[in-house]
Structure 1
Amino acid sequence: MFDTTVSHTTGNDTTTEIETEIRKIIDARAARSGAYGVHFLELCDLAAAQLNGGKLLRPRLLMGAFDALTTERTVTAATRSVALEIAAAVEILHFAFLLHDDIIDEDLLRRGRPNLVGHLAGKTSSAKQTAMEQGISDARRLHWARSSGILVGDLMLTIAHQAFARARVSEEYRLRLLDLLDATVTETLAGEYCDVGLADGCITPDLELVLNMTRMKTAAYTFELPLRVASIICGSDHRLEQQLGSVGRHLGLAFQLQDDLLSAFGQSETHGKDPYSDFREGKETALIAYARMTHAWPSIEQLIGAEEFSEESGRRIQNLLIECGAQQFVESMVQDQIRAALSMLSAHDGVVPTAVSQFILTFVDALDGRRA
């Protein structure tokens, strides 16, 4: 009889495992894509290439939590394989959200390089040459590129859902996973809907609403989903699952608030986004919501989202956000959310195992003061 128990894997080995699992899932789909024509196959190959190179924060969090939760118990190779498959699916879900988000925001760059839409729209030398040879206008090619991005995003959502639906776990656990996925996707989309409505001026902004939007669009799938999935797959009770979900919500809000700070004050070479993109697009972040309540708002209002937006406009907004206290306010909120998460992890009720708390603390250390 073969030994079906597995040792716990951490660090770079976990990253390698996740990357391998993602490739396996995408390759399986690509193998079937050829039946739909060479053009669709090329699109799937491009999507697979775009999927590589991320930080894999969500699947690494999931696998790290799973391994920590099973430190003191025997876990079969089959169970850990399920965790890896779902971890890969969570990254694919993240990719789907990024594709749609970039289209909504009209971004052509991701991580400092052309994203899928940017590549198809002719932002690479080979794509430009093809467009010139075929006599395709920039507007037509951009429409095709954005349409392709929407379709690939839909495909990635389906792939992620299939992984959850086919997970080799008991019926009870599968339904819990599917219910969690459904709630996560719904909450994330609700947050994005609110984000777009605020940015376009169709929803009246206030600080509480902006903070709720910030939490919904990121916390649910970035931290809460991985931690709760790990808890379900390893067979933990509902109490631990809910506690880890609460920890994830606090960390997720801290993560997104810090992302807003990076977009506003970080270097584009570091965070990989268009310079001043949030200011240019009129994004209603916590920074802006706070600034609305200060003397600096009339000056910021004239600049943010303006048609004649320039780098000088971006630098001016930065200075105003610092002067009015918005930067300090959001930085304090990041620390408040991290402290709330740490308080739950260090509670003496014994709900969260020590090994899990210690693992999550390493993620908090990386989150606190991150640059990208």
Structure 2
Amino acid sequence: MGFKVAVIGATGNVGREMLNILEERGFPVSEVVAIASRRSQGTEVSFGDKTLKVKALEGYDFSDTDIAIMSAGGNISKEWSPKIGKQGCVVIDNSSAFRYDPEVPLIVPEVNPDAISGFTRKNIIANPNCSTAQLVVALKPLHDAATIKRIVVATYQSVSGAGKEGMDELFTQTRAVFVADPVEAKKFTKRIAFNVIPHIDVFMEDGSTKEEWKMVAETKKMLDPKIKLTATCVRVPVFIGHSEAVNVEFEKPITADEARDILREAPGCLVIDKREDGGYITPIESAGEDATYISRIREDSTLDNALNMWIVSDNLRKGAALNAVQIAELLVERGLIQPKKKAA
């Protein structure tokens, strides 16, 4: 028995990836509907070997739809997710619109699957920020083993986190540098080609950016409210794959070898950690892969019970589309939803 699934924002980077992953993982669908704004109506997108014509969100009736996976931005989600939820369709939202709402579960299935039962209050489930998702996948098993006190993280985030415009800007700027054309910055605040920008999202009153604040708030909500976290989020000239240099202080002693063994057994994690040239993961190897990769695990000689590590993942997949589909799978596996329409 299959579920009717709508992908909203189907023409964007993440929306297309959601369609790919639904098909790749064999999610039990009776029908998939591609939805976007009115200006994209009639555009064609792929779902496996099928071609779907995009329908307009405005006026679409979700009353016979089981799951809506939303990747259309915060403002659209704020307006539409509650309306869709009221029609009895469960919304899995990839924006930040509902992540901090106490009545909306924020879920990474490897980290806090039991929290999903709270979705019935609003029929909305939030997908975390891409940089937080990979961080908590790697840290949850270590927190269970030795209790995390404090995290210091510096991110190296790819331009695809800023959407297609971000990827286009890196490409056009790089080409402009090579042919000695003027380099224009439109999407980013400074040139991104052959540069790094320590600024993602808007600035807050305390000098941190919204992206840094998101990592703090989401880690506390999903992992443990007692954890202290400080982040510096940086955009780098990489197309796909976010990387993080992470320092973690624990309450209990834990060695690098123990951490390596724990992470090797942990769901969603893949340890690639040889102390030799190339014995670690970089973003280019993570692109198109589902795992959260952990490398460079070592003890911090300046602090008791502390480790350093390097965490890399495809931000379009685990950071967004894959996690959303895994949430849908969790709803089905736990019997939390049933198809409204029996497949013919």
TM-score, normalized by length of structure 2?
0.30
The structure carrying a bigger strand percent of its residues is 2
Q: Which protein is richer in helix relative to its size? A: 1
**Structure with greater Cα Rg:** 1
